[in-house]
């Protein structure tokens, strides 16, 4: 897990942060391409995804060799998840073929204290996962099993998910607006800047509600 994991209060960050402000400060820090493509959506719009990436890379398969377990690496990743970690599964989405996530992986991940799952592939068993209130951000919904269609071929390596590079230990934040990947090297600074910007936005909002003009408030606080 990221070295930051022991210093960040993920519960507090889930309450305070939102994806748009993180995207704004990453622009400021010279990292403008950290938001996933908008086809990746939360299974429940109320979900907040907040934690540290553990990555898995999938590729298409068209058969299963006799005696081979196509779920082996997938099980290794899920069984090794720690509290605050997010399973981030790259499936070269959008796809109509690769559905790596379902109820049983959700249950196993929750038992280990995982913070959620992010994938640009498909998910299934969605009614049960919604009942569990597990933060799941996905590239589509479909009933297909991965067996004979796809297989995790690598874990804990840099991958691409919905157009964004994700490395193990990167800070992941997702809400109803989308998902932002904060590179581990920028996470501490980006989070501090985002929290400061949120305070400025709160002040801006109060002044706008009191009747101040948008231009005058922007000139005072530089927030829009």
Residue 6 labeled ligand binder: no
Residue 77 labeled ligand binder: no
Residue 122 labeled ligand binder: no
Whether 118 and 127 have beta carbons less than 8 Å apart is answered as no
Residue 214 labeled ligand binder: no
Exposed, middle or buried: residue 131 (CB in 10 Å: 0-12, 13-18, 19+)?
Answer: exposed
- Distance from C-alpha of 188 to C-alpha of 45, rounded to nearest angstrom: 26
Residue 149 labeled ligand binder: no
Residue 220 labeled ligand binder: no
- DSSP calls for 131-182: HHT--EEES-B----STTTEEEEEESS-EEETTEEE-TT-EEEEETTEEEEE
Residues making up the annotated binding site for substrate are 102-105
Residues making up the annotated binding site for Mg(2+) are 124-125
Residues making up the annotated binding site are 102-105, 124-125
């Amino acid at each position: 897990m990221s070295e930051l994991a022991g210093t960040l209060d993920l519960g507090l960050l889930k309450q305070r942060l939102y994806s748009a402000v993180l995207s704004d400060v990453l622009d400021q820090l010279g990292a403008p391409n950290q938001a996933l493509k908008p086809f990746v959506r939360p299974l429940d719009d109320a979900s907040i995804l907040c934690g540290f990436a553990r990555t898995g890379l999938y590729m298409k398969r068209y058969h299963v060799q006799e005696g081979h377990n196509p779920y082996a690496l997938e099980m290794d990743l899920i069984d090794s998840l720690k509290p605050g970690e997010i399973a981030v599964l790259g499936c070269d989405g959008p796809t109509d073929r690769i559905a790596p996530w379902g109820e049983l992986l959700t249950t196993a991940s929750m038992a280990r204290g995982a913070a959620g799952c992010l994938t640009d592939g498909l998910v299934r068993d969605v009614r049960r996962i919604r009942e569990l209130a597990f933060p799941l951000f996905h590239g589509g919904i479909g009933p297909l099993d991965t067996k004979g269609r796809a297989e995790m071929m690598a874990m804990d390596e840099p991958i691409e998910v919905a157009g964004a590079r994700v490395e193990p230990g990167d800070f992941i934040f997702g809400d109803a607006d989308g998902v932002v990947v904060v590179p581990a090297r920028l996470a501490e600074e980006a989070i501090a800047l985002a929290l400061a910007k949120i305070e400025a936005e709160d002040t801006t909002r109060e002044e706008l509600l009191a009747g101040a003009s948008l231009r005058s408030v922007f000139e005072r606080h530089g927030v829009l």
